[in-house]
Chain A
């Protein structure tokens, strides 16, 4: 009970502190903090429209965050979600535009292709780590840049739809194969993919022997070897699963938003996912509220720009302050005396 209370109250308190600090910053640049708060509330959370906007922005991050969170269980710091998303999206678009059949079948094929390609791409970093001892953080970062180059080369070269003149794209997957919205809402079904994937990963990590083994590897590789665990397999599997999640995010972007793969997919969702994962302490369940928070701040950024003439960077400043305070507040864990049963 105490732990749950702490797990909620500490981040919420930190968030309030962050808002206070941001208010001071706003005061320093000559804006009224109360007005700023009102606009943040209005833009991100103040109405059903605002909530839908927040949810839609959070959707891709729920999936890309897993690309960092799952390998992190095994002690790997992977920042390769961006590359996996792009190549996954490209694979999905290629399959979606060439497979004929019922929309559901096409969508399943797209999702599978995206997950396989995304998974394989991140597995490359895992394999380099396991077989060659190459640091996975740097290799996954390098793989992002390589993936962007490959993506652009293919989209503007061999896979280009000749009809896409000034916006080079792959062939469209077709209107019938698009993922729709939740009934009555303006939020696409990709969000459900993210939520389900997060829940599944949480069960895997916390409640199965595979998850337990992963965490042993993450805690101490030598101990894991001594215990006879297949370390290499676990590392590769974690990378593959994470990459599959990011690849699926690419498929969702293609199938629910863009309808084809093009340079608009390079939007930084992969890097945002890394951020979400770290703030969520790599807990697949905590990924959901953190992604929501990030989506909400992003949604309110428009209000700040439009009504206070603040630059787009206000959002970055607020996110930066919020994450610094949330992280710093972690040190308070177990120290909040007034929650101990004796005093309650």
Chain B
């Protein structure tokens, strides 16, 4: 057994759990918020990524079970997310259609289809993604466990850097940002605003789908209907919290994932009263940070000018 010789960590378990939780639980937040960041940079908001996340979780698990290859599952999850994103992008390109409302519709549709088609996959066990053992150097079992990192987490981290760099330095990145900041300017330059937004939403959907596959294929690592407790919705909110910076999205996701581990960790060392309030810590903290860091004077720096929620 892994823990036979290890001593209990005592109070050190709390920061370790928060650290480990940040790594374990943050990946879906990272992918969904990066996807949403990309979509919002193009001037559209897709509130339906919760549905995409659940769809990705189901699709990924189902394909992994049917093919025996979890990586095919991740790919399938991405493609399913991509399709939902495409749907959102196309419907929103029609005149007079509100993107937030379509997002809410998509949330229902994605969740519904995922639950509907996911029934046969609740019972069977699918092969899940392997972990990288980054903690092999440590003699402490708990540290080794906390540093069991999934490849998707690493990809997510790299992706955040890549997106950050891409928005500033690449032509594609500039076009997306221009479309998001001023549709008129983009049109004047000869770009199709609709097409850029559809592609951005589809790409964002792909990422959110991959984020969902992490839930079912790694942590907690199974498919059932209660799998997502609103992570997709929260991740969309984190983009605003991170003020549309992919790097800040990554750190916000880490913070959020880590704070989620605080409640259980405190109980495991004997701090047992008021667990509901501890469990709300991530939300309170996010709210406090926002209230402290925002200002009514200036508009949010980095906010895409075309975004309906930031007017």
Residues 265-297 of B contacting A (Cβ, < 8 Å): 274, 276-277, 279-280, 283-284, 286-287, 290-291, 294-297
Q: Is B203 an interface residue (CB 8 A)?
A: no
The answer to whether B276 and A156 have CB atoms under 8 Å apart is yes
* Closest CB in chain B relative to A4 CB, distance in Å: 18
> What residues of A have a CB within 8 angstroms of the CB of B113 in the complex?
313, 317, 320
Binds B, one of A101-109, A171-179, A327-335: A327-335
Cβ contacts under 8 Å, B310 to chain A: 135
Q: Is the CB of B101 within 8 A of A278?
A: yes
Contacts of B112 in A (CB 8 A): 313-320
Which residues of the other chain, B, contact A320 by a CB distance below 8 angstroms? 51, 105-113
Q: What number of B residues sit within 8 Å (CB to CB) of A? A: 52
Which one, B3-11, B69-77, B88-96, is touching chain A? B88-96
- Indicate if the CB atoms of A139 and B287 lie closer than 8 Å: yes
A337 located at the interface, meaning its Cβ lies under 8 Å from any Cβ of chain B in the complex: no
Which chain B residue lies CB-closest to A318? Answer: B112
Chain B residues lying within 8 Å of A315, measured Cβ to Cβ, are 112
Query: In the complex, which of the residues B94, B115, B291 contacts A128, with contact meaning CB atoms closer than 8 Å?
Result: B291
Q: Which residues of B contact A274 (CB under 8 A)?
A: 104
**Could you tell me which residues of chain B, from 297 to 311, have a CB within 8 Å of some CB in chain A?**
297-298, 300, 309-311
Of A112-120, A143-151, A201-209, A242-250, the one contacting chain B is A143-151
Closest to B291 in A: A132
From 122 to 163 in chain A, residues with beta carbon under 8 angstroms from any chain B beta carbon are: 128, 130-135, 137-139, 141-143, 145-146, 148-150, 152-153, 156
Evaluate whether A77 and B309 lie within 8 angstroms (CB atoms) in the complex, with A133-B296, A137-B240 already known: yes
Question: A133 touches which one: B106, B233, B295, B309 (CB < 8 A)?
Answer: B295
User: Does A91 have its Cβ within 8 Å of any Cβ on chain B?
Assistant: no
Min CB gap A196→B, angstroms? 26
A191 on the B face (CB < 8 A): no
Q: B230's closest neighbor in chain A, by CB?
A: A145
Chain A residues contacting B105 (CB-CB under 8 Å) are: 279, 320, 323-324, 327
**Which residues of A are found within 8 Å of B284, using beta-carbon distances?**
142, 146
A149/B110 in contact, CB under 8 A: no
Q: Is the CB of A142 within 8 A of B237?
A: yes
* Beta-carbon contact of B277 and A153 below 8 Å: yes
Contact flag A323-B108 (CB < 8 Å), given A139-B287, A153-B276: yes
CB-CB nearest in chain B for A314: B116
Contact, CB under 8 Å: A316 / B91: no
Q: Are A142 and B97 also in contact (CB < 8 A) when A320-B106, A320-B110 are? A: no
A238-284 interface with B by 8 A CB criterion = 274-275, 278-279, 281
- Chain B 41-72 interface residues, beta-carbon cutoff 8 Å to A: 51
A130:B296 contact, CB within 8 angstroms = yes
Contact string against B for A residues 68-87, beta-carbon threshold 8 Å, 1 for contact and 0 otherwise: 00000001010000000000
Q: CA of A102 to CA of B134 in the docked complex: distance in angstroms? A: 68
Indicate with 1 or 0, residue by residue over B102-136, a CB within 8 angstroms of chain A CB atoms: 10111111111111100100000000000000000
Are the CB atoms of A152 and B296 closer together than 8 Å?
no
Known: A133-B295, A313-B116, A317-B116. A331 touches B109 (CB 8 A): no
B309:A311 contact, CB within 8 angstroms: no
> B51's closest neighbor in chain A, by CB?
A320
Does A32 sit within 8 A of B, measured CB to CB?
A: no
Q: Which residues of chain B are within 8 angstroms of A313 by Cβ–Cβ distance?
A: 111-116, 225
A186 at the interface (CB under 8 A from B): no
- B16: interface (CB < 8 Å): no
- A75 / chain B contacts, CB cutoff of 8 Å: 311
> What is the chain A residue whose CB lies nearest that of B287?
A142
Q: Is A321 an interface residue (CB 8 A)?
A: yes
Query: B115 to A137, Cβ gap below 8 A?
Result: no
B237 CB, min distance to chain A CBs, angstroms: 4
The one of B91, B234, B290 that contacts A139, using a Cβ cutoff of 8 Å = B290
Verify if B241 is at the interface (C-beta below 8 Å from A). Answer: yes
**A301: min CB distance to chain B, Å:** 11
Give the complex CA separation of A137 and B40 in angstroms: 15
Known A132-B295, A141-B237, A142-B286; judge A330-B115 contact (CB<8 A): no
Q: A328 contacts B283, CB within 8 Å?
A: no
Q: Is B100 an interface residue (CB 8 A)?
A: yes
B-contact 0/1 string along A293-324, CB 8 Å cutoff? 00000000000000000111111111111011
Per a CB cutoff under 8 Å, which of B96, B240, B274, B287 touches A331?
Answer: B96
List, in ascending order, chain A residues with CB within 8 A of B309's CB. 77, 135, 137
CB contacts (< 8 Å) of A77 on chain B: these are 100, 309
Cβ-neighbour of A142 out of B119, B283, B296, B298 (below 8 A) = B283
Q: Are B115 and A153 in contact (CB under 8 A)?
A: no
* Cβ of B138 under 8 Å from chain A: no
Cα separation A153 to B233 with both chains bound (whole Å): 24
CB distance from A331 to the nearest CB of B (A): 4
Top 3 A-B pairs ranked by shortest CB distance?
Answer: A320-B109, A316-B112, A313-B115
27 A-B pairs in the complex with CB atoms less than 8 angstroms apart: A132-B290, A133-B294, A135-B310, A141-B234, A145-B283, A146-B283, A149-B277, A153-B276, A156-B276, A275-B108, A278-B100, A278-B104, A313-B112, A314-B112, A317-B113, A319-B112, A320-B106, A320-B107, A320-B113, A323-B101, A324-B109, A327-B102, A330-B94, A330-B96, A331-B96, A331-B97, A333-B96
Could you list which residues of chain B lie within 8 angstroms of chain A, going by C-beta atoms? Answer: 51, 87, 91, 94-98, 100-102, 104-116, 119, 225, 230, 233-234, 237, 240-241, 274, 276-277, 279-280, 283-284, 286-287, 290-291, 294-298, 300, 309-311
Seed contacts A142-B286, A312-B115, A314-B112; 12 additional CB < 8 Å A-B pairs: A133-B294, A134-B291, A141-B234, A142-B283, A145-B280, A149-B279, A275-B108, A279-B101, A281-B98, A317-B112, A324-B102, A328-B102
